[in-house]
Amino acid sequence: MSTTTTRTEETTEPVRPSGGTSDRARAEQRLGWLLAGPAFVVMLLVTAYPILQAAYYSLFDYRLTDPDKRSFVGLNNYLVILTDSVWWTSFGVTVFITVVTVAVELVLGFALALVMIKALKAIRPVLRAVILIPYAVITVVAAFAWQYAFSLDSGFVNSWFDWLPGVSADTDWFGGTFSSLFVICLAEIWKTTPFISLLLLAGLAQVPEVLQEAAKVDGASWWQRMSRVTIPNMKAAIMVAVLFRTLDAFRVFDSVFVMTAGANSTETVSFLAYRQTISRLEIGLGSAVSVMLFVSVVLICVLFIKGFKVDLSAQRGEN
């Protein structure tokens, strides 16, 4: 009885090769969504809803200091942002930090992964534990540690490196754009290289040992084995690591907040959005910056997936 009634209800069910949907498959379908649904819904509620709200607010001239004067301005906020040098400076700084940190981290992370895979069995657990510490340390704490190491009133860097040209006891690292960005990048690199190197290590472990041996027998040098055998075979792992880190680096906020608070043109896009909304209470403009940050992240993602053919689902063994 119940079989026939439910079957007519669920007309969207695709016909399976085994001859129609069985009761069991349908029950499984329902159970699947029953179990997975709550997590899925909560996840969408806490992200999709706010971003839609942001997109809506971004069309208004809306200040919390004067909420009654809220007025619809269409795309004017975006126009204001795109014609303002503040946006382009912060965008440039963000791109700079992203490119520098990801490039350095990739090289450094690869070196770390190579050492970890070659390291003697006895010290491997030590290395693995040690490398996780930067990953686990709070970003704000890492930012403070690096800031204080370089700062004039409590640092040791100036006295350690005063033999370097351009460094003396009173070098003010946070007095200029590039020296500030240098310290910010250093902190970011220190903190996130371990993550990249662990992903690369997992990729390295998947390169078949026989390929290495074969290349060795054929007389390939270490460099040739790296560039012709190892790296091409772990390209997928590399791309996934780079994609994750790029997206992460593009959102850089904590270190900038702690170290410079955007002084000396070191403001990033995230910091700009924060400043507009939370400090200046310009909900309309801030939302527009937030939306543009979101769009930038989506564009990076699309660029990677289409441009570099990063297949995340293949990585997951979904296909």
Partner 1 sequence: MSTREKVLWVVAGIVIVVYALLPVGWIVSLSLKSSSDIANGQFLPTEVSWENYSQILVGDAAELFLPALRNSFGIVLIATFISCVLSMFCAYAIARLDFRGKKLILSSALAVAIFPVISIVTPLFNLWRQIGLYDTWPGLIIPYLSLTLPISIWTLSAFFREIPWEMEQAAQVDGATTWQAFRKVIVPLAAPGVFTTAIIAFFIAWNDFAYGISLTSTGAARPVPAALGLFSGASQFESPNGPIAAAAVIVTIPVVVLVLLFQRRIVAGLTNGAVKG
SS3 content of the chain, % helix, strand, coil (to 5): 75, 0, 25
Q: With contacts defined by CB under 8 A, how many residues of the chain interact with partner 1?
A: 102
Residues 80-99 that bind partner 1 (CB under 8 A): none
| Residues of span 31-70 touching partner 1 by CB under 8 A | 31-36, 38-40, 42-44, 46-47, 50-51, 53-54, 57, 64
Footprint of partner 1 on residues 238-257 (CB under 8 A)?
240-241, 244, 247, 250-251, 253-254, 257
Q: What is the DSSP string of the chain?
A: -HHHHHHHH-TTSPPPTTTS--HHHHHHHHHHHHHHHHHHHHHHHHHHHHHHHHHHHTTEE-BTTSGGG-EE-TTHHHHHHHT-HHHHHHHHHHHHHHHHHHHHHHHHHHHHHHHHHHS-TTTHHHHHHHHHHHHHS-HHHHHHHHHHHH-TTT-SHHHHSTTSTT--TT--GGGSHHHHHHHHHHHHHHHHHHHHHHHHHHHHHHS-HHHHHHHHHTT--HHHIIIIIIHHHTHHHHHHHHHHHHHHHHT--HHHHHHTTTTTTT--HHHHHHIIIIIT-BHHHHHHHHHHHHHHHHHHHHIIIIIS---HHHHTT--
The residue among 76 and 139 lying less far from partner 1, judged by its C-beta, is 139
- Enumerate residues 1-30 that contact partner 1 by CB under 8 A: 25, 28-29
Which positions from 279 through 298 interact with partner 1, judged by CB under 8 A? 283, 286-287, 290-291, 293-294, 297
Among 123, 214, 299, 303, binds partner 1 (CB under 8 A): 123
Strands 71-72 and 60-61: antiparallel
Shortest spacing between CB 63 and partner 1, in angstroms: 11
Q: Which stretch binds partner 1 (CB under 8 A): 82-90, 96-104, 199-207, 210-218?
A: 199-207
Is the Cβ of residue 1 or residue 307 nearer to partner 1 in the bound state?
A: 307
Stretch that binds partner 1, among 73-81, 142-150, 171-179, 217-225 (CB under 8 A): 142-150
282, 63 Cβ separation under 8 angstroms: yes
Residue 312's contacts (CB-CB under 8 Å, 6 or more residues apart) are: 240, 305
Task: Find the shortest distance in angstroms from Cβ 51 to partner 1.
Answer: 6
Q: Which stretch binds partner 1 (CB under 8 A): 2-10, 81-89, 108-116, 219-227?
A: 108-116
Q: Which of 101, 158, 180, 266 binds partner 1 (CB under 8 A)?
A: 158
Q: Is 192 in the site for partner 1 (CB under 8 A)?
A: no
Determine which residue in the list 79, 82, 99, 132 makes contact with partner 1, applying CB under 8 A.
132
Nearer to partner 1, 266 or 290 (CB): 290
Taking the complex as a whole, the smallest distance from the CB of residue 194 to partner 1 amounts, in Å, to 7
Query: C-beta of 217: minimal distance to partner 1 in Å?
Result: 19
CB of 185 to partner 1, least distance (A): 14
> Is the Cβ of residue 106 or residue 293 nearer to partner 1 in the bound state?
293
The tokens for 121 are: 């069995």
Rounded least distance, CB 83 to partner 1, Å: 21
Instruction: Provide, rounded to whole angstroms, the least separation between the CB of residue 307 and partner 1.
Output: 16
- Which member of 115, 167, 207, 211 binds partner 1 (CB under 8 A)? 115
Cα separation, 105 vs 109, whole angstroms:
5
CA triple 21-24-28, angle to 5 deg: 100
